[in-house]
C-alpha cells in the first residue's frame, strides 16, 4: 500500500524530499533567486547532487543526455520564464525524441499586484504555455502543499509511454513557504500492459514470412524500450534487411549482416513489406512523406503520434515495443529457418555486409595521406584507436559515424544523438551522459560550428572531473548548410558563394576555448599525428581528466574549395 511519508518543511524542502523519493541523483540547473526556496533545501535535505551548467540550453541538453544514457527520468530546474525560454531550443530536441524529463522553474505572480515582471511572464500569459509545443504536459503549482503531488505526477507522466519532457512551474511563494506539511509518495511510470491481438500478430508473421522484398525499419524507441535483443531475433529469424532513421547509428549494430544503412538513402518504392519498429519518422514536408508506396506497411511502437501519422499503416500494434516484439517472436517457427527464400536472403545479406564494411574501411584509409585530414580518415582512426565500450555523443553531419563500431555487445560502442537537429546539444549531452555512465569512456564528437552553440559547457566537465574526450571536427565551416545551399542552386551555386557559412577569419581556437575553462587539449593538423593524439587523449581520460582534440579537417562536398563571405568591417 502506498501511504507515503509525511514531511514538514519549506516548499523547497518538500520538492527536494520528492526528488529523493524519485531516486533523482542529479538536479541539472542554472540558478536564480526566485528559486531560493529550492536551493536552500540542498543544505537541509541530502541526496541530490546539483549540477551547474552556465546556460539553460546546456542545462536542458545535459538532462537529455543523462536521461538517454541512464534510461531514467532527468530533473531540471531553471530560472523563471526567461530561463525556460533560454532552454527551449534544447527542449525542442527532447520533445522530438520523447526523452523523459521533469523540467521546473519558479513562477512569479503577475496578476495580484504589478504585471510587468523582470524575467517572469507578463500579466495575462501563463509561463507553462511558453513550452506548450515542446512538452508532453505541464502544470502550475500555487499552493505549497501540492508540491509533492504535482511533482509525483510529473515523474509519472514523463516516464509513462509515450515518454517525454513535462514542465512544472512552482509559485515563488510556494517554494519559499515555511512549515508546510506534505505527503511524499513515489511516482512510477504506468505499466503499458497489453497483449497484442493474435489475429494482428499472425498477419504480421505471415507478411514477414512470405515477403519477397521486405524491410525492417527500426528507431530510437527500440532502445528506449530495451527491446534490442527482440529486434535482433526478429531480423535474424526472417532474414530481414534492417534500416535506421536519419543519422541513427545507435539503434542497430552497423556490423550486423542484416544492417543496410539509413532508410532515407534507400529507394522506398522497392519494398513489398515494410515493418517499422519504434521508428520516429523524420518527415520532409513534401509529398515524399507518403513513404513506401508499394508496400504493405506495418508499425509497432509506443508513441501513437509516430504510428500512421505520416504514412498510413496496414497493420499496427500500439504497445510497449518490447512486449509486442516478444509476442511477435513467439510466432516464429524455427523449422521455417530453412525455407529457401530465407536462406538465400540470409546469405546475400552476409555477403553484402562484408563487401560494404570492407569498402567503407578501405576508402576511409585510402585518405590517410590527405592533408588537411579527411573526415573519413579521422572517423576510421577513432574507430581503431578509441576504447572498446566507448559511448559517443555525436553532433555534426560531417562526422563519419557510419565507420564506428556501434552495437549492443559488451565491447560495442554506444551512441547518443538528438534527432530533432537543434544545434547546441552535444556539449551538454556529453556532460549528462558521462554522469549517467561513469564507467564508460565517453567521447564527444562535434563540429566546430556546433561547439559554439554551447561553448561554456567545458567548464562543467572541468568542475566535476568528467573525463570526456572532445573531438572537434574543425573544418572552419557550417559545411552542412553550405552543401544544402549548393543543392538549392540559384546565385549561390552558380557563383560558388555561400553567404554566412564560412567560420574562419577569425578562426576559433578550440584548445584555447577549453583551456580558458580548465581543460587541456591539443591541435591536430597532420594525418600522421592522429593516432598519437588519440592515444594521448585516452591516457588523460584514463587518468580521470577531460581532454580536447581540435582536429583540423578538410571540407568535402559542394563549395569545399571556397572561403567566401561578404567582407565587412564596421570602421573601414
Ligand atoms: C539551432 C539551429 N540553428 C541552425 C541550424 C542549421 N544548421 C544545420 S547544420 C549547421 C552547421 C553545423 O556546423 P558544424 O557543427 O561545423 O558541422 P558541419 O556542417 O561543418 O559538419 C547549421 C548551422 C540548426 N540545425 N540548429
Ligand atoms: Mg564545421
Residues 352-379 have pLDDT tens digits of 999 999 999 999 999 999 999 999 999 9
Q: What is the pLDDT of residue 1?
A: 60
List the domain range (segments joined by +) for residue 154. 5-184
- Which DSSP state fits 190? P
Distance 330 CA to ligand 2 centre (A): 47
pLDDT band at 120 (very low <50, low <70, confident <90, very high): very high
* C-beta of 498 in contact with ligand 1 (< 6 A): no
Q: Are residues 317 and 233 in the same domain?
A: yes
- What percent of the chain has pLDDT above 70? 100
Q: How far apart are CA 461 and CA 469, in angstroms?
A: 10
Dihedral sign from CA coordinates of 61, 62, 67, 72 = negative
Cα 371 to middle of ligand 2, angstroms:
17
Rounded distance between C-alpha atoms, residue 31 and residue 54, angstroms: 9
Same domain, 246 and 347: yes
On average, the pLDDT of the chain sits at: 97
- Cα(203)–Cα(117) distance, integer angstroms: 59
Nearest ligand to the C-alpha atom of residue 449: 1
State if residue 128 touches ligand 1 by the CB under 6 angstroms criterion.
no
Please state, in angstroms and rounded to a whole number, the distance separating the CA atoms of residues 103 and 46. 20
Answer yes or no: is pLDDT of 127 > 80: yes
Does residue 360 lie within any of the structural domains?
Answer: no
Q: By percentage, how much of the chain surpasses pLDDT 90?
A: 97
As a whole number of angstroms, the distance between CA 107 and CA 397 comes to 38
Nearest CA to ligand 1 atom 23: 478
- In the prediction, which pLDDT does 2 show? 63
Number of domains in the chain: 3
d(CA 482, ligand 1 centre) in Å: 10
- Assess whether the C-beta atom of 423 lies below 6 angstroms from ligand 1: yes
- pLDDT level of residue 398 (50, 70, 90 thresholds): confident
Asked if 239 contacts 349 with a C-beta cutoff of 8 angstroms, the reply is yes
Is the residue at 563 inside a domain? no
Protein residue with least CA distance to atom 21, ligand 1: 398
Positive or negative torsion for Cα 29, 35, 39, 45:
negative
The CA distance from 406 to 428, in Å, is: 21
Supply the residue whose CA is at minimum distance from atom 11 of ligand 1. Answer: 478
Give the pLDDT of residue 53: 98
Cα atoms in the 13 Å half-sphere on the side-chain side of 553 = 28
CATH number reported for the structural domain that contains residue 110 in this entry: 3.40.50.970
255: cell is 556490423
- Is 23 part of any domain? yes
* Distance between CA atoms of residues 472 and 511, nearest Å: 10
Task: Report the atom number in ligand 1 closest to the C-alpha of 450.
Answer: 15
Question: For the domain that residue 264 is a member of, what is the CATH number?
Answer: 3.40.50.1220
The CA distance from 14 to 147, in Å, is 7
Structure confidence by residue, pLDDT tens digits, 174-198: 999 999 999 999 999 999 887 899 9
**Quick one: which of 177, 168, 190 has its CA closest to 75?**
168
DSSP class of residue 134 equals G
Examine the domain organization and report whether 296 and 371 are in the same domain.
Answer: no
CA–CA distances in Å: residue 266 to residues 208, 269, 335, 568: 19, 9, 31, 44
Q: What is the rounded distance in angstroms from the CA atom of residue 310 to the CA atom of residue 237?
A: 28
Is the domain of 498 the same as that of 442? Answer: yes
- Those residues whose beta carbon sits under 5 angstroms from the ion ligand 2 are 447-449, 475, 477, 479
Whether residues 300 and 387 fall in one domain: no
342, 326 Cβ separation under 8 angstroms: no
Residue nearest to atom 17 of ligand 1 (CA): 447
pLDDT tens per residue across span 335-354: 999 999 999 999 999 999 99
Cα–Cα distance, 451 to 398 (Å, whole number): 14
Atom of ligand 1 nearest to the CA of 451: 15
For the segment 156-182, the average pLDDT, to the nearest whole number, is: 98
Q: Are residues 388 and 526 in the same domain?
A: yes
CA dist 495 and 36 (Å) reads 56
Pair (340, 371) in one structural domain: no
Q: Are residues 118 and 173 in the same domain?
A: yes
* Cβ 471 vs Cβ 450: under 8 Å: no
Q: Within 13 A of 299's CA, how many CA atoms are on the CB side?
A: 21
Peptide bond into 506 cis (omega under 30): yes
> What pLDDT is attached to residue 269?
97
Q: Note whether residue 192 is domain-resident.
A: no
Instruction: Tell me the pTM.
Output: 0.97
Q: How many residues does the chain have?
A: 572
> Do 337 and 478 reside in the same domain of the chain?
no
Same structural domain for residues 378 and 343?
no
Alpha-helix runs per DSSP H in 22-55: 36-40
C-alpha of residue 239 to centroid of ligand 2, in Å: 39
In a domain, 344, yes or no: yes
Q: Which of 94, 395, 479 should be mutated for ligand 1, with most atoms under 8 A from CB?
A: 479
φ/ψ of 518, rounded to 5, equals: 95, 20
Name the 3-class secondary structure at 100: coil
pLDDT tens sequence across 540-554: 999 999 999 999 999
Residue whose grid cell is 530533473: 75
Residue 18 in contact with ligand 1 by CB distance below 6 A: no
**Ligand 1 proximity of 450 Cβ (cutoff 6 Å):** yes
CA-421 nearest atom, ligand 1: 25
426 CB within 6 A, ligand 1: no
Among 127, 151, 184, the domain-final residue is: 184
In a domain, 72, yes or no: yes
CA of 313 to the centre of ligand 1 (A): 33
The pLDDT of residue 399 is 84
Is 165 among the domain residues?
A: yes
* H or E stretch at 69: helix 56-70
Residue 490, classified by CB atoms within 10 Å of its CB into exposed (0-12), middle (13-18) or buried (19+), is exposed
Confidence label for 572 from pLDDT (cuts 50, 70 and 90)? confident
pLDDT digits (tens, 9 = 90+) for 254-284: 999 999 999 999 999 999 999 999 999 988 8
Atom of ligand 1 nearest to the CA of 483: 19
Per the structure block, which three cell numbers stand in for 559? Answer: 563549395
Question: Could you give the CA distance from residue 295 to residue 292 in angstroms, rounded to a whole number?
Answer: 6
Characterize the bridge pairing of strands 5-9 and 180-184.
antiparallel
Predicted pLDDT of residue 236: 97
Q: What is the pLDDT of residues 447-479, one digit of tens each?
A: 999 999 999 999 999 999 999 999 999 999 999
- Looking at the domain assignment, is residue 533 inside a domain? yes
Q: Ligand 2 centroid vs 378 CA: distance in angstroms?
A: 14
Q: Could you identify the atom of ligand 1 that is nearest to the CA of residue 474?
A: 16
Cis peptide before 162 (omega within 30 of 0): yes
**103 C-beta closer than 6 A to ligand 1:** no
Residues 291 and 334 reside in one and the same domain: yes
Residue 167, CA atoms < 13 Å, CB-side half-sphere: 32
Considering the domain architecture, whether residues 282 and 382 belong to the same structural domain is answered as no
Amino acid at each position: 500500500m502506498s501511504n507515503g511519508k509525511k514531511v514538514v518543511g519549506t516548499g523547497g524542502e518538500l520538492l527536494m524530499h520528492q526528488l529523493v523519493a524519485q531516486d533523482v541523483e542529479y538536479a541539472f540547473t542554472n540558478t536564480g533567486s526566485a528559486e531560493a526556496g529550492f536551493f536552500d533545501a540542498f543544505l537541509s535535505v541530502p541526496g541530490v547532487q546539483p549540477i551547474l551548467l552556465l546556460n539553460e540550453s546546456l542545462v536542458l541538453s545535459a538532462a537529455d543526455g543523462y536521461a538517454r544514457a541512464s534510461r531514467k527520468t532527468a530533473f531540471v530546474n531553471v530560472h523563471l520564464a526567461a530561463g525556460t525560454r533560454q532552454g527551449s531550443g534544447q527542449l525542442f530536441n527532447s520533445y522530438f525524441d520523447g526523452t523523459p524529463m521533469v523540467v521546473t522553474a519558479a513562477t512569479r505572480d503577475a496578476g495580484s499586484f504589478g504585471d510587468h515582471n523582470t524575467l517572469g511572464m507578463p500579466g495575462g500569459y501563463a509561463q507553462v504555455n511558453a513550452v506548450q509545443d515542446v512538452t508532453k504536459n505541464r502544470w502550475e503549482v500555487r499552493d505549497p502543499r501540492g508540491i509533492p503531488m504535482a511533482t509525483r505526477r510529473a515523474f509519472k507522466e514523463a516516464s509513462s509511454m509515450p515518454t517525454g519532457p513535462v514542465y512544472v512551474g512552482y509559485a515563488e511563494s510556494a517554494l519559499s513557504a515555511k512549515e508546510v506539511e506534505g505527503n511524499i509518495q513515489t511516482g512510477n511510470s504506468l505499466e503499458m500492459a497489453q497483449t497484442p491481438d493474435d489475429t494482428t500478430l499472425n498477419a504480421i508473421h505471415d507478411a514477414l514470412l512470405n515477403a519477397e522484398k521486405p524491410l525492417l525499419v527500426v528507431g530510437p524507441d527500440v532502445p528506449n524500450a530495451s527491446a534490442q535483443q527482440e529486434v535482433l531475433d526478429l531480423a535474424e529469424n526472417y532474414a530481414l534487411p534492417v534500416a535506421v532513421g536519419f543519422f541513427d547509428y545507435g539503434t542497430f549494430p552497423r556490423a550486423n549482416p542484416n544492417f543496410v544503412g539509413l532508410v532515407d538513402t534507400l529507394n522506398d518504392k522497392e519494398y513489398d513489406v515494410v515493418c517499422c519498429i519504434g521508428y520516429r519518422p523524420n518527415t520532409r514536408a513534401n509529398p515524399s512523406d507518403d513513404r513506401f508506396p508499394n508496400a504493405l506497411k506495418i508499425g509497432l511502437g509506443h508513441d501513437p503520434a509516430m504510428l500512421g501519422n505520416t504514412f498510413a499503416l496496414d497493420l499496427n500494434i500500439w504497445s510497449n515495443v518490447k512486449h509486442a516484439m516478444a509476442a511477435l517472436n513467439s510466432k516464429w517457427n524455427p523449422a521455417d529457418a530453412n525455407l529457401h527464400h530465407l536462406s538465400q536472403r540470409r546469405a546475400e545479406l552476409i555477403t553484402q555486409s562484408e563487401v560494404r564494411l570492407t569498402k567503407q574501411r578501405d576508402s576511409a584509409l585510402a585518405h590517410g595521406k590527405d592533408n588537411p585530414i579527411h573526415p573519413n580518415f579521422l572517423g576510421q582512426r577513432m574507430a581503431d584507436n578509441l576504447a572498446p565500450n566507448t559511448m559517443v555523443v555525436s553532433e555534426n553531419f560531417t562526422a563519419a559515424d557510419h565507420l564506428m563500431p556501434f552495437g549492443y555487445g559488451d565491447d560495442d560502442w554506444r551512441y547518443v544523438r538528438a534527432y530533432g537537429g537543434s544545434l547546441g546539444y552535444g556539449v551538454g549531452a556529453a556532460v549528462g551522459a558521462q554522469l549517467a555512465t561513469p564507467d564508460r569512456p565517453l567521447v564527444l564528437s562535434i563540429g566546430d560550428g556546433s561547439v559554439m552553440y554551447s561553448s561554456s559547457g567545458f567548464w562543467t566537465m572541468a568542475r566535476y572531473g568528467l573525463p570526456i574526450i572532445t573531438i572537434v571536427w574543425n573544418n572552419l565551416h557550417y559545411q552542412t548548410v553550405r552543401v544544402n545551399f549548393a543543392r538549392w542552386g540559384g546565385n549561390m551555386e552558380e557563383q560558388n558563394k555561400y553567404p554566412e557559412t564560412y567560420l574562419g577569419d577569425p578562426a576559433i581556437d578550440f584548445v584555447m576555448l577549453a583551456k580558458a575553462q580548465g581543460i587541456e587539449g591539443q591541435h591536430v593538423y597532420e594525418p600522421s599525428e592522429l593516432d598519437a593524439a588519440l592515444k594521448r587523449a585516452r591516457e588523460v581520460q584514463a587518468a580521470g581528466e577531460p581532454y580536447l582534440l581540435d582536429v583540423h579537417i578538410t571540407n568535402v562536398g559542394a563549395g569545399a574549395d571556397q572561403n567566401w563571405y561578404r567582407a565587412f568591417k564596421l570602421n573601414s
